[in-house]
């Protein structure tokens, strides 16, 4: 059974940093592209970042470019999102999601999400 479990969320002050992790199991993680998608409370979905299976293609939303860094460790079946210079508008539930083999940029399996709250 495919499982994606996010962790690392919490309350952080504006300007602070957090590192989110996503532990994958039940599939061959190293062969799948991954996305981070966030959803602010009561709002719609916002794509945040993408990394292909070999970390050779990495993309970011303009809203996080220069502040967030996506990475993965295929040996540990893990995906990460380093978030720096956090702002109130980064408050959201952050989901990791695996790509569809036929359409790697499309999010197939999703974790349950981890809540990040940026507030003083």
Contacting residues toward other proteins, per CB under 8 A: 35, 37, 44-47, 50, 59-62, 95, 100, 102-103, 105-108, 110-113
Q: How far is the CB of 13 from other proteins (least distance, A)?
A: 27
Q: How far is the CB of 32 from other proteins (least distance, A)?
A: 14
Q: How far is the CB of 25 from other proteins (least distance, A)?
A: 17
- Distance, in Å, from the CA atom of 63 to the CA atom of 109, rounded to the nearest integer, reads 24
When the beta carbons of 11 and 45 are compared against other proteins, the nearer one is 45
* Backbone region of residue 42 per phi and psi (left: phi > 0; alpha: psi in -120 to 50; beta: other values): left
When the beta carbons of 27 and 110 are compared against other proteins, the nearer one is 110
């Amino acid at each position: 059974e495919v499982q994606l479990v996010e962790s690392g969320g919490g309350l952080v002050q504006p300007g602070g940093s957090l590192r989110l992790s996503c532990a994958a199991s039940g599939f061959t993680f190293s062969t799948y592209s991954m996305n981070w998608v966030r959803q602010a409370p009561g709002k719609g979905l916002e794509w945040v970042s993408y990394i292909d299976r070999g970390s050779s293609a990495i993309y970011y939303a303009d809203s996080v470019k220069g502040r967030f860094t996506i990475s993965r460790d295929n040996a540990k079946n893990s995906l990460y999102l380093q978030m720096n210079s956090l702002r109130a508008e980064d408050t959201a539930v952050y989901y990791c999601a695996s790509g569809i083999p036929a359409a790697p940029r499309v999010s197939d399996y999703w974790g349950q999400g981890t809540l990040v709250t940026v507030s003083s």
